[in-house]
């Protein structure tokens, strides 16, 4: 049994990850800004799985001191069962506007949450894992991180690329705990979700033929998490093959694609 901490767990992908991980036998530490939704989710999960333990806390990931305090508090709450063993850095924003068109407030908000907020979460998670000598860090990036993208997603795509490179740097430093190199027992996973229905998607985007339901998309995410893979495009179809096209398409073709 693993205790998994999920940020941004009040809705969307985070909430569905909590449901599916609980069904697989994991205890949960859930945090987000909206505690009313967290309480509702806790009630739902414990009703469906009475043997699961679910702890919740309010958290604004853009406050690094609050992130560190929250993660430590969760670790203390679960100390009798080994503390927090996995952290899923999921909290994020998808707001944005084309650069130079007056939408800089939305771009700054997304960059602050997805870059500085993610950095605070990774710092706090790895601090716990270094002390314990084990752990599993999961970072939710995006398929958009594979290339610089135009218009309203320029800042979002860049912020998600930051997250992926942050973990790549950690991997270079720590090695692979599973292979007996670097810091034993610390595993690192980067997820690149494609189009999955969540509160971040607008109504128009949800009609895309490439869009997966929340349940199906998260099922792929949870499967990759449980396998502790280094990285995964999720769902694998169509996003694993499409990721190759996205990475290598020449600029004129990419412009037409997106």
Catalytic residues: 156
How do beta strands 186-193 and 135-140 pair?
parallel
CA distances from 38 to 59, 128, 213 (A): 11, 23, 21
Residue with tokens 């080994």: 82
CA distance 131 to 6: 20
Peptide bond into 238 cis (omega under 30): yes
Q: Which of 213, 210, 215, 218 is nearest to 241 (CA)?
A: 210
Residue 194 C-alpha from the chain's centroid: 13
Nearest to 122 by CA among 58, 186, 76: 186
Q: Where are the alpha helices (DSSP H) in 78-134?
A: 104-111, 118-132
């Amino acid at each position: 049994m693993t205790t998994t901490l999920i940020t941004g767990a009040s809705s969307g992908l985070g909430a569905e990850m909590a449901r599916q991980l609980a069904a697989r036998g994991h205890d949960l530490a859930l945090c987000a800004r909206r505690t009313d939704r967290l309480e509702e989710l806790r009630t739902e999960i414990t009703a469906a799985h009475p043997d699961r333990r679910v702890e919740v806390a309010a958290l604004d990931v853009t406050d690094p001191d609050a992130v560190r305090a929250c993660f430590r508090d969760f670790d203390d709450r679960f100390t009798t069962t080994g503390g927090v063993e996995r952290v899923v850095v999921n909290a994020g924003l998808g707001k944005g506007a084309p650069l130079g068109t007056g939408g800089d407030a939305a771009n700054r908000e997304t960059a602050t949450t997805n870059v500085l907020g993610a950095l605070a979460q990774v710092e706090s998670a790895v601090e716990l894992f270094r002390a314990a000598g084990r752990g599993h860090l999961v970072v939710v990036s995006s398929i958009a991180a594979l290339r610089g993208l135009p218009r309203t997603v320029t800042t979002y795509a860049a912020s998600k690329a930051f997250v992926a490179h942050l973990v790549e740097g950690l991997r270079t430093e720590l090695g692979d705990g599973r292979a007996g190199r670097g810091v034993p027992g610390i595993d690192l996973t980067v997820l690149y979700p494609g189009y999955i229905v969540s509160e971040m998607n607008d109504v128009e985007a949800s009609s895309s033929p490439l869009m997966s339901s929340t349940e199906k998309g998260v099922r792929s995410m949870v499967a990759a998490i449980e396998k502790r893979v280094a990285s995964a495009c999720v769902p694998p179809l169509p996003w694993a093959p499409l990721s190759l096209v996205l990475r290598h398409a020449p600029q004129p073709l990419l412009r037409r694609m997106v």
